[in-house]
Amino acid sequence: MDYALDDRQREFQRNLRALCEGKIRDSSEQVESRGEVPMDHLRVLAEVGFLGLLIPEDYGGNGEDMICALLGMEELARVCPSTALVAGTTLLRFGVPLLRFGSSAQKERFLSLLTTGGLKGAWALSEPHGGMDTRNLRTRARMDGEGYVLQGEKSYVLNGPDAHGLLVLTSLEGDASSADGGSAAFVIAPPVAGMEPCREIRAVGARGARVSALRFSGCRLPKEARLGGEEGPGVEELERLPHVSLMVAGYAIGVGQACLESAVCYAKERKTFGRPIVTYQEIHFKIADMHVNVDVARQLALRAAWLVDSGKDASAEASVAKLFASEMAPECARACMQIYGGKGVTQGGPVERLWRDSQIAEVIGGTSESHRLFLAKEVLERRA
Ligand SMILES: Cc1cc2nc3c(=O)[nH]c(=O)nc-3n(C[C@H](O)[C@H](O)[C@H](O)COP(=O)(O)OP(=O)(O)OC[C@H]3O[C@@H](n4cnc5c(N)ncnc54)[C@H](O)[C@@H]3O)c2cc1C
């Protein structure tokens, strides 16, 4: 097992960090206050190659690997968590399943636009009756003549209000041909009649990443909209893709790293009793713990990304990385808050946003509970 970064990966990371520091960091407060990630951010991310990762040259991609995608998520979340989630969702929740299962026409249409930064992509799975209950989807697709009619509601869709491409997962009515017990995914280019975003949701963190519910009422789609056609994947197969867990792991690592850097910086400048607080051992311990947390999360995520790039099943390792990273980011935010003292708990202060951004990682991309259930099943049923 060797997941030391090679020259290509280092160069990608260097270029992306320069872009983040030069163009994205300065606008991140504005992204947060306006509640929107501008398309310009996607265009510059396409230029630096982030939106071409994992996608072959035929569709304008650069074919680079999952390790680069993970590094990219960390770099982006370190400066602008909203941009990380909007771009990450576009590439990893929308682009990767499309690349894996889509028809040539679907790939041509959506991936070629995605790699130029001209598209926000979305993934609509969670439903109002319970985000974890993905084996009993109430949004249904009924075969009707040459196509399908969709009916139902999705509860939280990141990029939902302004997506140009959307994957929607449904149960299938009256179709026994589904690969995994009656579910399917459809690729949609909004706006389409019968589908509308409703109830925009303001999450506590990454406030520039727009999230909404989506309502489908008699939404007619041609049969070509079904991902992978009649033999296409269902929910179970799509959920086993490790990319989403790694997307959220990278996000959490970036937020944890930002907490560490901010805490170190403040500890060096803040003086009490005539000395910088960085000279106190109690502060050393917090900084060391934050470093250990971020480093372990990074190594776990790199291991899973390396497995993906080696063509091996990485669903369990990606879940381990997601679970650990998403729980360590709030711990880092809490330690950072304590190091800032009163300023740490001040509304609008330097740590409030880091703390808010850290909170959402435990819920998106599968809750901690759902990852624990999945991992326990892996241990008890497959590896015992
Ligand atoms: C900012 C944000 C962005 C999101 N983006 C997307 C997206 O792009 N696409 C998408 O499809 N979804 C998205 N989600 C939805 C997210 O995946 C769900 O919120 C999550 O799956 C939890 O579902 P729920 O909110 O319905 O919680 P509930 O299902 O009501 O669960 C509440 C609590 O109970 C626990 N729980 C529920 N059932 C069980 C059980 N059987 N055993 C043990 N514990 C259980 C849960 O883990 C949770 O802690 C997003 C959510 C947020 C907040």
**183 three-state secondary structure:** strand
Strand duo 140-144 + 121-124: pairing: unpaired
Residue 248 CA, ligand 1 centroid: distance in Å: 14
Q: Which CATH superfamily is domain 123-234 in?
A: Butyryl-CoA Dehydrogenase, subunit A, domain 2 (2.40.110.10)
Architecture of the domain spanning 242-382: Up-down Bundle (1.20)
User: What pLDDT does residue 179 have?
Assistant: 46
User: Quick one: average pLDDT of 313-334?
Assistant: 98
**Is the CB of residue 179 below 6 angstroms from any atom belonging to ligand 1?**
no
Given a contact cutoff of 8 angstroms between Cβ atoms, the answer to whether 329 and 248 are in contact is: no
**Is the CB of residue 203 below 6 angstroms from any atom belonging to ligand 1?**
yes
27-50 pLDDT per residue, tens? 999 999 999 999 999 999 999 999
Given a contact cutoff of 8 angstroms between Cβ atoms, the answer to whether 100 and 136 are in contact is: no
Confidence band, pLDDT 50/70/90 cuts, at residue 382: confident
**Cα distance between residue 40 and residue 20, in whole Å:** 13
**Is the CB of residue 359 below 6 angstroms from any atom belonging to ligand 1?**
no
Pocket test for ligand 1, best of 137, 367, 372 (most atoms within 8 A of CB): 367
**Tokens 């680079």 -> residue:** 64
The CA–CA distances, whole Å, from 55 to 112, 230, 304, 313, 369 equal 9, 24, 19, 19, 32
245-281 pLDDT per residue, tens? 999 999 999 999 999 999 999 999 999 999 999 999 9
Q: What is the largest CA-CA distance in the chain?
A: 79
Pocket test for ligand 1, best of 364, 368, 371 (most atoms within 8 A of CB): 364
**Tokens 């249409």 -> residue:** 109
User: What pLDDT does residue 289 have?
Assistant: 98
- Average predicted confidence (pLDDT) for the chain: 96
**Tokens 């909203």 -> residue:** 82
Residue 135 CA, ligand 1 centroid: distance in Å: 14
Q: Is the pLDDT of residue 123 over 60?
A: yes
Confidence band, pLDDT 50/70/90 cuts, at residue 2: confident
User: Quick one: average pLDDT of 112-131?
Assistant: 97
Residue 279 CA, ligand 1 centroid: distance in Å: 42
Residue 131 CA, ligand 1 centroid: distance in Å: 4
User: Quick one: average pLDDT of 6-13?
Assistant: 97
Question: What share of the chain has pLDDT > 70, as a percent?
Answer: 97
User: Quick one: average pLDDT of 295-299?
Assistant: 98
The CA–CA distances, whole Å, from 246 to 74, 78, 79, 89, 300 equal 10, 15, 18, 11, 10
Pocket test for ligand 1, best of 363, 368, 371, 375 (most atoms within 8 A of CB): 363
Domain definitions of the chain by residue range: 7-119, 123-234, 242-382
Q: Which atom of ligand 1 is nearest to the CA of 368?
A: 47
**Cα distance between residue 61 and residue 55, in whole Å:** 5
User: What pLDDT does residue 175 have?
Assistant: 55
**Which residue, by CA, sits nearest to atom 15 of ligand 1?**
156
**151 three-state secondary structure:** strand
Q: Count of H helices and E strands in the chain?
A: 13, 9
Q: Is the pLDDT of residue 323 over 50?
A: yes
Residue 363 CA, ligand 1 centroid: distance in Å: 6
**Which residue, by CA, sits nearest to atom 2 of ligand 1?**
364
**Which residue, by CA, sits nearest to atom 35 of ligand 1?**
369
Q: Is the pLDDT of residue 384 over 50?
A: no
Given a contact cutoff of 8 angstroms between Cβ atoms, the answer to whether 205 and 173 are in contact is: no
**Is the CB of residue 131 below 6 angstroms from any atom belonging to ligand 1?**
yes
Q: Is the pLDDT of residue 116 over 90?
A: yes
Q: Is the pLDDT of residue 180 over 70?
A: no
What would the CATH number be for the domain defined by 7-119? 1.10.540.10
Residue 362 CA, ligand 1 centroid: distance in Å: 9
Residue 182 CA, ligand 1 centroid: distance in Å: 22
Instruction: Give the residue from 292, 255, 305, 261 showing the smallest Cα distance to 5.
Output: 305
Confidence band, pLDDT 50/70/90 cuts, at residue 3: confident
Domains 123-234 and 242-382 share a fold: no
**Which residue, by CA, sits nearest to atom 41 of ligand 1?**
132
> Which helix or strand (DSSP H or E) is residue 219 part of?
strand 211-222
User: Quick one: average pLDDT of 78-101?
Assistant: 98
Residue 317 CA, ligand 1 centroid: distance in Å: 21
Residue 54 CA, ligand 1 centroid: distance in Å: 27
